[in-house]
Amino acid sequence: MIVAERKPMEEILSMIEDANRILVLGCRGCTTVCCAGGPKEVQELATLIRMNRKQKGTTVETLEASNELQCEPQSVGPLLEKLADQFDVILSMACGAGVQTIVKSFPDVRVLPALNTNFIGMAEEHGVWTEVCVACGDCLLGRTAGICPMTRCAKQLLNGPCGGSMKGKCEISKDVDCAWQLIIDRLTRLGRLEVLEEIYPVKDWSAGWHRGPQKIVREDLTS
Amino acid sequence: MKSGSNLERILESGQFAVTGECGPPKGSSPKVVQKKGELLKSCCDALNVTDNQTAIVRMSSLSGCVILQGIGLEPVLQMVVRDRNRLALQSDILGAVALGVGNILCLSGDHQKFGNHPTAKGVYDIDSMQFIRMVKTMRDEHKFINGEEISGDVPLYIGAAANPFADPFEFRVTRLAKKANAGADFIQTQGIFDVARFAEWMKMVRDRGLHEKTHILAGLIPIKSVGMARYMRNNVSGLSVPKELVDRMADAKDAKEEGVKICLETIEELKDIEGVHGIHIMAVAWEDIVPRIVEEAGLMPRPVV
Amino acid sequence: MNNFEPLIAVFSCHYCSYAAADLAGSSRIQYPPNIRVIKIPCTGRVSVNHILKALECGADGVYVAGCLEGTCHFISGNFKAKQRVQYAKNLLSEINMEPERVQMYFMSAAEGAKFANVAKEMTETIRELGPSPLGQNKSE
């Protein structure tokens, strides 16, 4: 999932300083799962905003709502068509894609992000998320026993480990696992270590995040 | 001959090679490089010029090489993939060849976090393995990494690093095999303090016949003080400094003398290990001790091939 | 003199502090009339939003009174409550409200006197802090 975190209240409050009617809009997708922008967090944020205004002796009108998936125009459209013009600001609690989906569908509405979008991650346990994918566009997990060196190796080595791997840890920190140690351990377990004898060729970075904005078009799905 | 460099001639003729190291200054003076070069001139077959070692910005490795050549020394151009993408690497290689450099050492480089620009973006476009293969392809096939033709020759003797002390231990030999297959003509290892572990690694190397595929130069770091020994034991990842060695330095009356003694003993032990074709002495900030070490190790005068 | 009378919401666990409140009552132990007890099946049910809503709706202070550590009827509800109370305190700091307005207490069903003492302590704490900056308490 996309893992995000709420921005500091100070930053949010200063962004919405001049707004008196605020739609706090959550997303029931990734940001609900990572406990950053689901209905619960929407309620929390809206309450904090109202409490802040009450402290200042001013009033604010908030509406708390959530989309199924804010990155889908079909999910955003029906709700916002009715509501958009009634608010000064839409404070989105989705990821950056959600914010921009609203921006694209409602060019006249002011949309602000309440979250910082951090990474593509997995839940280690409730309340702990780790980055596991950098969306490089050229997945090599099939060769690395399902452990991503693009994300987890500090040098993004394709033929690791480097000489800094010690006792399973990366040279950059004793708190960081050496991705290549993990890869070797897992391949050993699977009895497939020999796949690493071969030199992995240079990476095609043009498929991934070094390339400017990407787009995928599926001819069979477009109208 | 691949490049015809002195280092290549010595190694290919089966003689025991001695290489040293010359770190360029954090400044623009060629004199620093020249001074280190003069010190090491008579006792080393070639001198590595480090490339922003430990991720600290210094004069470029290539400039250092050219300065050394100016005083009649043979350099080994160190190059790290941390600071250059494939375009920069290839263009620097062509430039180095144009300037007469005949040896290259292909490295990944210490992570930028350790240096004096910890907020820098690491490049790591290709890794050291791919780098070795790229240089080999440039030399043997006259082709860039994208397959396009290179005009002219790229005669380089290709080196790589190996760390027998890093983990996972068993995989270290596989990694050496990959480097040899990629095209490494010679290997310079991490500094050796734990000879027993190195010998164990060398046995695995011989079992796979790798000592016949590539020339292994055993790395040495002369220790100047107990503080240095302790620091390397506790703080430098990828080094294995046994506790006994730290104790020995601590108990010594004259730490520097003890350091030289340890280094000489290590060389003697290394000479006896089958498959070790030379030594690489990294006397960081203690270059002036190298002539004495080489002399007392019975490795002088250096052969002329 | 401070004659401000705080209004305090108490989220009280059915298994411990709520029974302690009963015991305080039947033992005729006096405690301040400032608290409003909200009975819950377990403090693990209290969410950050419950705490915030109480403050927004006019409470000058909120506390959660759960079982002694290690004795939660649902094993870990009181620990969850403790973490959420801390989180709520952090949120209050973020909007420049005193985090002391929210507290967590632990007690057993047998501690009627402790229930009374906690009520007194919290009432004093909030009296010191003064009315909620949200400005809704009209008892001043």
* Chain B nearest-CA residue for A185: B168
Chains C and A touch (3+ CB pairs under 8 A): yes
A211 has pLDDT over 80? no
A221 has a pLDDT exceeding 90 = no
| First-residue to last-residue Cα distance in chain B | 13
H helices then E strands: how many in chain A?
A: 7, 9
Does residue A55 register a pLDDT over 60? yes
Q: How far apart are CA C53 and CA A160, in angstroms?
A: 53
pLDDT of residue C111 exceeding 50: yes
Domain boundaries, chain B: 6-223+274-296
Per the prediction, chain B carries an average pLDDT of 96
Q: Describe chain B by its helix, strand, coil percentages, rounded to 5.
A: 45, 15, 40
H helix intervals, chain C: 17-26, 48-56, 77-94, 112-129
Inform me whether the C-beta atom of residue A190 falls under 8 Å from chain B C-beta atoms: no
Q: How confident is the model at residue A210 (pLDDT cuts 50, 70, 90)?
A: low
The total of other beta-carbon atoms located within 10 Å of residue B249's CB is 22
A161 touches B at CB < 8 Å: yes
State whether residue A185 sits within 8 Å of chain C by CB: no
Q: Is the confidence at residue C37, as pLDDT, over 70?
A: yes
pLDDT digit string, tens, across residues A68-89: 999 999 999 988 998 888 999 9
Q: What is the pLDDT of residue C140?
A: 45
Q: How many domains does chain C have?
A: 1
Asked whether the predicted pLDDT for residue B165 surpasses 80, the reply is: yes
Residue A206 confidence (pLDDT) = 83
Which residue, among B89, B112, B130, B208, would best test binding to A if mutated, counting the most A CBs under 10 Å from its CB? Answer: B130
| Distance separating alpha carbons of residues A9 and B101, to the nearest angstrom | 58
Domain range annotation of chain A: 2-119, 136-207
- Contact criterion met (CB < 8 Å) for A51 and C55: yes
Mean pLDDT value of segment B56-75? 98
Does the beta-carbon distance from A159 to B145 stay under 8 Å? no
Q: How many CB pairs under 8 A join A and C?
A: 42
Angle between helices C77-94 and C48-56 (to 10 degrees): 50
The band of A141, judged by pLDDT with boundaries at 50, 70 and 90, is very high
Check residue C1 and give its pLDDT: 45
Mean pLDDT for the stretch of residues C88-101: 97
The residue of chain C nearest to residue A9, with distances taken between CA atoms, is C94
Could you give the percent of chain C with pLDDT greater than 70?
95
Q: Which domain holds residue C48?
A: 8-129
Q: Which chains have 3 or more CB–CB distances shorter than 8 Å to chain B?
A: A
Q: Does residue C2 carry a pLDDT above 70?
A: no
Which of the other chains make 3 or more beta carbon contacts under 8 angstroms with chain C?
A
Select the residue of C47, C91, C134 nearest A55 (Cβ to Cβ). Answer: C134
Q: Mark which residues 7-36 of A lie under 8 Å from C by CB.
A: 8-10, 13
Containing H/E element for B232?
helix B226-235
Asked if B127 is an interface residue toward chain A (Cβ–Cβ < 8 A), one would say yes
The helix/strand/coil state of A151 is helix
What is the CATH code of the structural domain delimited by B6-223+274-296?
A: 3.20.20.220
ipTM of the complex: 0.90
Distance CA C21, CA C19 (A): 5
C39-70 per-position pLDDT tens digit = 999 999 999 999 999 999 999 999 999 999 99
pLDDT tens-digit readout, B170-224? 899 999 999 999 999 999 999 999 999 999 999 999 999 999 999 999 999 999 9
Model confidence band, residue A196 (pLDDT cutoffs 50, 70, 90): very high
- SS3 at position C34: coil
Assign a CATH topology to domain A2-119: Rossmann fold (3.40.50)
Provide, as residue numbers in chain B, all residues whose Cβ is less than 8 Å from the Cβ of A163: 161-163, 166, 190, 238
C135 part of a folded domain: no
Q: Which residue in chain C is spatially nearest to A13 when comparing CA positions?
A: C95
- The pLDDT of residue A205: 87
What's the mean pLDDT in C30-43? 96
Q: Report pLDDT for A14.
A: 97
Model confidence at A212: pLDDT above 80:
no
Closest listed residue to residue B175, CA positions, set A182, A144, A151, A158: A158
